[in-house]
Chain A
Amino acid sequence: MGTVQGSTQQITLSRRLSGIARYVLLAIPLLFLAVFFLLPLGLTILVGFFERAGFWIRPAFTLAAYQAFLGGPRLFVLQRSLFVAAEVTVLALALAYPMAYFLSMHVRPQVTRTVLLLFTVPFVVNYVIRNFSWAYLLSRTGPVNRLLEALHLTAGSLDWLLYSDFSVLVGLISSYMPFMIYPLWLALAGVDRRLIEASWVLGAPPLLTFLRVTLPLSIPGIFTALIFGFVGSFGESAVPIILGGVGYQLMGNTITSALDVLNYPLAAAMSSIVVVVMLLFLAAWYLLFDVPAFLGKIVRWRV
C-alpha cells in the first residue's frame, strides 16, 4: 500500500516538474520573438517620434516625420503600394486557385508533391537575377517583342512591356504567386471528400457543389494566400527598381530613400505606418476568419 502511494506521489511530482519544464521550453520561441521582433518594432515606432540630432536621433515627441510623410509626395507611394499589392494579390490568386484545385482534387499526391516542388525551384535563383531576366525578356528589342513581331502579331516593338505597370505586375506575380499555391493546395486537400460526394448524391451540379461546399471550405486557405501575396508585394523594393518605369516606387523604396540621407525618424515613421497597415490586415484576418479553427483541432483541444 505504502509503496503504491509513494509511486503515485512521485508521478505527480514528475508531472509537475515536467509541467514547468514544458512551459520553459514552449516559451523559448516566444521569448525569441519578444526580444528580436517586438522590441525592434517598438524601437521603430518610438524613433518615428524622435527628432534628428546631427546624423543620429534624439528622444523627443514630435510629429514632424509624420507631417513630412502625409503632406509630401510620398503619400502617393503609399496609395500606389496599397493598390499595386491588391492588384497583384487578386491576379495571382486567380492564376493559382484553379491550379491548386486541380492538383488537390485530380492528381495523385505523389505527382502533386513533385509539381509543388517544381514551383519552388525558381526561388533558388537570386531574385535580382530573376527580375533582371524579365527586363531582358520584355525589353524593346528583347525576345518577347521579337517573337511577337515574327508572328506578325505586332508591327513595331511594344513599349509598355517594360518599365511599366505591366512589367511590375509580371515581376511581382512571378515572385509571389508560387508562395500562394501552397496554402491553397493545403486547404483544398484538407476538404473532406465525403462532403463533396454528399453534395453530388443530393443532386447538386458540380458548379453548385463547388460554390456551396468546396469554395467556402477553402476560404481560410484563400485568405492565407492573399496575405502571402499582399505582404510580399507591399514591402517589395527590388521589383520596382529593376522593372519599374520612371521613378516607380513602392513603400520599400521610399523608406530606403529616406535612410539614404539618414532621416531615421522619417524612415521609422513610414515603417511604422506600414507596420500599422499590416497589423490592421492581420486583425481583419483574425477577426473575420476563425484562424484557430482553420489551423485545426490543435487549438480546439485547449480553447
Chain B
Amino acid sequence: MDEVAARLSRREFLRAAAYATAGASLLRLGPLVSWAGAAAAKKGTLSFADIGVGDPGGDWSKFTNATGWGVNLVAIGNAPSQILNVLIAGGGKGVYDVINIVGGMQKPLVENDLIIPIATSRLPNWGKDAYISEFLSSGKPGFEFIGYKGKIYGVPTVLQGDSFAYLPEKTGQLDSYAALFDPKWKGFVALEDNFTTAGQKTALYLKTNKLATIKDPANMTPGEIRTVIDFLIEKKKEGQFRVIWTSFEQAVDLLTRREVYVMDCWEPMVFAARKKGVSAVYARPKEGYLLWAMAAYIVKNPQRPADREKGAYDLLNFMLDGWYGAKITLLRGYMTNPQAVAYAKANAGDFSAAEAAEVARIHDNVRSKFRLGGTWQNRWPTYVEQYESEWARFKAAPSK
C-alpha cells in the first residue's frame, strides 16, 4: 500500500514537473510571437496596423536592413468603427506606431487626439511624390484625405478612382452608372454594403443626370440622403439587386461565377476576376469616378521614445519609396507613388519587365481617372449618422 502510494506520488510529481516545464516554455513563446517576422531587426519592432492593402507580401527586409527596425503588421478591418474602436476602446494608442487606412478619417482621429501632425521635412520622399502636389495638396479636394485644418496628418500610400464592373459578354459596352439601375439587368446587379461608396455613387448618378437635386454628393444634407435612399429602396423593391456584398472575395466571385453582370465595386476585383479567366471590365462612366486615397498616420503616443518615432517616420518614408510602391501596385492593383514606375523599370532584379510594364499601365490608368474627376469619397460626412441610419433603412427594406 505504502509502496503504491509512494509510486503514485512520484508519478504525480513527475507529471507536475512535466506540466511546469511545458508551462515555462509556453511563457517563453510569448515574446517569440511578437518578435517573429523581425529577424534582422536590431532596434525593435514597429507596430503597424493595416487594412490588408499595405502588406508587401510580408517582406519588410529592405526596410529592416536599411533602418534596423522590424515591422509587425496587424491586419484590421476598414470600417471606421473598427479603426476607431481599435484605437479608442481597444487602447491601441499605446500599442500601434503607424496605422494605414483609407484616408479622410482625420476629423475623428484628430478630435479624439489619436494621431499627430506629420513634419513632412522628415520624409525625404515626400517632395519626390508629384501625385501629392498634383492631386492632394492644400486647397485641392484630395487634401481631405491627408490633411485637417491646414495641417498634414497622413502620408498617401495608395490612390484610386472607383466606378463599377461589368461583363461585356452579357451587357455589351457600358459607360454610365445608369446600368446599375437598368431594368435590363434586373436581378443581376450587386452593390457594395457601404454608404460612402454605393451611396455616394448613386448620388453622383442622380445629380449628373439631373434626376434629383443634390448639391454635393460628397456631403449631403439629411433631405438629400433620404432622396438617394428612397430611390435605392424603389429599385430594391423591383428586384433590381441580387446581393449587397461586403467583402473583396465575395465581389470577385460574383463576377467569376457570373452571378451578376453589373456590380458596384473596386477595380482590383476586376483584375482578380481577369486572372481567373473572366473578361470583366471596369467602366469609365461619363458621370466620373469616386476618387479616394489611403493614408498612413502616426498614432499619438506621448510615451513613445524619440528613436521609435524616427522609426515610424522611416516607415512612412519607406512607403513613399519606389520598391514598396511598385510592390503594392503589383499586389493590389492601385496607384501608389511616382517613383514606383521608375523603380520597377530600373531594377530588373526585383521586378521583371512584364511586372514593370504592369506597374506603369496601372499608374497611367489611375492618373487618367483623376484627370477625368468625379466626386471625392467622403468617409466622414457631416451627417454621418443619418447616412448610417438611412442605409440601415435601405437594407431592411423588402426586396421584390
Chain A residues with CB under 8 Å of chain B are: 54-56, 68, 72-74, 76-77, 132, 135-136, 139-142, 159, 162-163, 241-242, 245-249, 254, 256-263
Contact = CB atoms under 8 A, between A and B. Distances in A.
Given A140-B259, A242-B250, A261 B244 contact: no
Given A72-B389, A246-B236, A163 B80 contact: no
B397 interface: yes
Contacts of A72: 389, 392-393
Contact of B396 (A68, A76, A142): A76
B183 interface: no
A225 to B, nearest CB: 30
Nearest to B387: A261
A58 to B, nearest CB: 14
A74 B392 contact: yes
Contacts of B395: 73, 246-249
B87 to A, nearest CB: 11
Contact of B81 (A73, A136, A259): A259
Nearest to A54: B111
A140 B112 contact: no
B399 interface: yes
Nearest to B112: A55
22 contacts: A54-B111, A72-B393, A74-B392, A136-B257, A140-B258, A141-B259, A142-B257, A162-B259, A163-B242, A163-B243, A246-B243, A247-B193, A247-B236, A247-B397, A254-B392, A256-B79, A257-B388, A259-B81, A260-B81, A261-B384, A261-B387, A262-B84
B241 interface: yes
Contacts of B111: 54-55
B399 A245 contact: yes
B385 A135 contact: no
A261 B80 contact: yes
A248 B241 CA distance: 12
A136 B388 contact: no
B123 interface: no
Given A132-B249, A140-B257, A241-B246, A68 B80 contact: no
- 3 smallest A-B Cβ distances: which pairs? A247-B395, A259-B81, A73-B396
B396 A74 contact: yes
A136 B392 contact: no
